[in-house]
Amino acid sequence: MKIKNILKDLIKNLDYHLETLNDTDRDYYHYDRSEFLKFNYGLDEPNTYDIDIESLSTHIIQMKLFGHIIYTEDDEIDIRKNKIIKEKK
């Protein structure tokens, strides 16, 4: 698999998210994607590639909306809430 193809698919997926972002509540993206996957998908999931592209898109949107990727502990509290990523200029 070529990185160019992965990036192409990622951009296509991100375009969809960006088109609907203004109509979507921020809370839709405020979750720990890795925890979500652990509980909702098994090791035999046939659509791993599509799920991974969606995960990358979700992480990028989280960086845009919240300044960081959401990771939670057992109590679902964002463990990186005070560690905001600042975009390099």
Chain segment 2-61, per-residue pLDDT in tens:
999 999 999 999 999 999 888 899 889 999 998 898 888 766 777 889 999 999 999 999
Q: Where are the beta strands (DSSP E) in the chain?
A: none
Task: Say if 87 falls within a structural domain.
Answer: no
**In the chain, how many domains are there?**
1
Task: Say if 11 falls within a structural domain.
Answer: yes
Note the pLDDT of residue 10.
97
Task: Say if 75 falls within a structural domain.
Answer: no
Note the pLDDT of residue 71.
83
Task: Say if 47 falls within a structural domain.
Answer: yes
Distance CA(16)–CA(38), nearest Å, equals 24
Task: Say if 79 falls within a structural domain.
Answer: no
pTM > 0.85: yes or no: no
Domain of 43, in residue numbers = 3-66
